[in-house]
Structure 1
Amino acid sequence: MYQLRHKKFIATDIETCWDFFSSPNNLKKITPPYMGFLVKNEIPEKMYEGLMIEYTVTPIMKIPMNWITEITHVEDLKYFVDEQRKGPYKIWHHEHHFKVVEGGVEMEDILTYVLPLGFLGKIAHALFVKNKVKEIFEFRNKKVEEIFRV
């Protein structure tokens, strides 16, 4: 099992921050364009527990992968969790936490994931998955800075 933790300061109020991140429609804005992120089902403006989102991404060599994630937990203005129901990972559990701090909001991501294929999955993680996940989060950080003018 692998875990990535990341904290980001966002110079805005909690309501503005929450409004942006709790809208599934904004996910594409913070996903690298090369990922070919495409939502395949109709989604609402605001997430809720039980929401299923079906999408396609092309993270490696433009090979499309179908994903289905479920929003499993939501506490307004505090956190939400998305979990993969179908996709390339054996386990994908992504927590998004929001905390009011002086001058803005601290957003913390806790991503816990397991790759399939046992030993081969460990090799794939070492060779490219680990770096690809970090790269996606780095892109997201830059986009968040642009969006919120941090």
Structure 2
Amino acid sequence: MYQLKSVQGLPISLEEAWEFLCAPENLKTITPDYMGFNILSGTEDKMFQGQIIQYIVTPVANIKTKWVTEITHVQDKEYFVDEQRFGPYQLWHHKHFLEVTDGGIIMRDVVDYKLPGGILGQMAHPIMVLPKLKEIFHYRADKLASIFGKLEHIPTTLQFNSF
């Protein structure tokens, strides 16, 4: 099992952050273009518990991968959780938290994930998966900062752990 934690401060209101992050179509905006992110279904309504979102991504070697996500928990303007139901991971559980702070909000993400393939998946993690996740989350932080700005008193951090 692996865990990714990220923290970022944005100089926007809680309402503005929630509106942006809870619109599934905005995920394409904060995903690197080379990943070929394409939503197939599930963005017709505002985010709700039980929502299924289907999309295609091309994370490695131009190989298209279908990913199906379920929004399993939503607490208005506080947090939501998405879980992979079908896709490249054995487990993907992504918690998104928002918290008001001086001058804006703090956005915290915690992703618990497990790779398929047993020992081969573990061997692939430091070579292929971890560098790609770091790249994607750094891109996302940079993109959000370019759209909204950043709070100087909240350093953007990215931390990985394995269990």
TM value normalised by structure 1: 0.98
Distance 1:115 1:19 in 2: 31
Q: CA deviation at 1:42?
A: 4.4
Could you say which residue in structure 2 is the equivalent of 1:148?
A: 148
Q: How far apart in 2 are the matches of 1:18 and 1:39?
A: 20
Deviation of 1:149 (Å) = 2.5
Q: Within 2, Cα distance between the matches of 1:46 and 1:148?
A: 21
Q: Deviations over 1:4-39 (max 9, x none)?
A: 101000101100011000111111000000000001
Q: Which residue of 1 aligns with 2:2?
A: 2
Instruction: Answer whether contact 1:11 1:148 (CA < 8 A) is retained.
Output: yes
In 1, Cα distance between equivalents of 2:84 and 2:18: 22
Which residue identity lines up with residue 33 of structure 1 in the other structure?
D
Give the conservation status (yes or no) of the 8 Å contact 1:25–1:45.
no
Unaligned runs of 5+ in 2: 151-163
Question: Who is 2:24 aligned against?
Answer: 24
CA contact (8 A) 2:38 2:56 kept: yes
CA contact (8 A) 2:23 2:43 kept: no
- Amino acid corresponding to residue 3 of structure 1 in structure 2: Q
C-alpha distance in 1, partners of 2:95/2:135?
A: 18
Counterpart CA distance in 1 for 2:16 and 2:63 is 35
* Structure 2 letter corresponding to 1:141: A
Matched residue pairs, number? 150
* Aligned-residue RMSD, C-alpha: 0.8
**Which deviations, in whole Å up to 9, do the C-alpha atoms of 1:47-97 show, x marking residues without a partner?**
100000010000001100001000000001000000000001000000000
Residue 112 (str. 1) matches residue 151 (str. 2): no
- Write the distance in 2 (CA, Å) between the matches of 1:14 and 1:22: 12
The equivalent residue for 1:85 is 85
CA distance in structure 2 between the aligned counterparts of 1:63 and 1:82, rounded to whole angstroms? 23
Instruction: Report the counterpart of residue 44 of structure 2 in structure 1.
Output: 44
- 1:68-79 matches, within 5 Å, as 68-79=68-79
Matches of 1:33 and 1:110, distance apart in 2 = 23
Say if 1:24 and 1:44, in contact at 8 Å, map to a contact too: no
Superposition deviation, residue 45 in structure 1: 4.6
State percent identity of aligned pairs: 48
5+ residue gaps in structure 1? none
Shift of 1:43: 1.4
User: Displaced runs of 4+ in structure 1, greater than 2 A?
Assistant: none
